[in-house]
Each structure stands twice: as structure tokens, then as C-alpha cells.
Amino acid sequence: MAERGQATVELIAALPALLLAGLVALQLLAAGYAMTLADGAAEAGALALASGGSATEAARAALPGWAEDDVSVRVEGGTVSVLLRPPSPIEGLSERLEVGSSAAARPAR
């Protein structure tokens, strides 16, 4: 009968590892979502550039509100590049997981 309560002790011992695994999984999902958003923003900027509009404004408008302070848009020639930091509960991790995308446009004739 010395094994009584062993399952509870094992659960408590494994809980930090389970929480860490959950945090890593959620962070990877956030980085993937940020990549999808960066792709869409770069394409929106390229479409605006091709039609004579402001690529920077269009790219920023294509992003949700939380990304307002976490995005960098650069326009060089006909290429629009977007760098986006995904949300993260760990501050330094967000900078390391920064994702980027670019799209090219030709002006309309």
C-alpha cells in the first residue's frame, strides 16, 4: 500500500513539462499565424503599389490592431517587404521569431 497517491505525485511532477510543451506549441502557432499575416500584408502593399497607392499604408491596413507596433514595412523599387514579430508572453522570444515576407509589383500601364 506504499503506492497510494503516486499518480497525484507523478501528475504534479509532470505538470511543468506539460505547461512548457503547451507554451511552445502556442508560440509556434502564433509564429505561423504571423507569417500568414505578413504574406497578406506584403501582397496588399504590392497591389497598392501597382495601382499607384501607398504600399506602406496598404500593408499596415491589412494587419490586425495588435500588430501595429510590431511591424516594419519597406518598399524598394517594386518590392514590398514586411517584417512582423508574433505576439509572445516572453519578450525576447518575439524578436527571435520575427517573420518576413515580400511581394513584387509592376506598375499598371
Other CB atoms within 10 Å distance of the CB of residue 75: 17
Structural domain includes residue 109: no
Domain count, the chain: 1
State which residues form the domain around 63. 6-104
- Single out the residue of 97, 91, 84 nearest to residue 36, CA to CA: 84
Read off the pLDDT band of 89 (50, 70, 90).
confident
> Which has more confidence, 11 or 46?
46
> What's the half-sphere exposure (Cβ side, CA atoms, 13 Å) at 37?
26
- According to DSSP H, which parts of 1-109 are helical? 6-50, 55-61, 91-96
Mean pLDDT of 75-79: 93
In a domain, 1, yes or no: no
Q: How does pLDDT run across 47-67, given as a tens digit for each residue?
A: 999 999 999 999 999 999 999
Give the global pTM: 0.82
User: What CA–CA distance (Å, rounded) separates 30 from 89?
Assistant: 11
